[in-house]
Structure 1
Amino acid sequence: MGKTQANTAAWRNQLVLLEAQLTLADILPPLVRDRPGGRRDEIGTFLNKTLPANASEGST
């Protein structure tokens, strides 16, 4: 796995972790709840801007 693929995998992992945190959003205070959502959006935007449209996780 190359550096770019490893970095992409790490960012995607972060998205999974943030989604898991957001499943608990109902019990979190508003400020704590907003941070994972904002971070998830930032990472998603970053990945969408930097990865080619036809790139997939398993491509080499």
Structure 2
Amino acid sequence: MVTFGRMKTGAGSIRYMKYYLMSVKSMLTLAGQTWRQLERDWKAVVLGLFVMILVLAGISIPW
């Protein structure tokens, strides 16, 4: 928790907030790009989910 000690000073907290906002913004843009790609390739996503469910069911069922 290095950032917590820095938050008492004004400049440090502003820098921390800028960094936080930048990271949130990049996460949102990444999520938006992923969502647009998912909208295009929704068939592949559904197929992948189906395979994942099958694999999980196969793992959970004791043969």
TM-score with structure 1 length normalisation? 0.42
More helix by share: 2
Structure label with greater radius of gyration: 2
TM-score, normalising length from structure 2?
Answer: 0.40
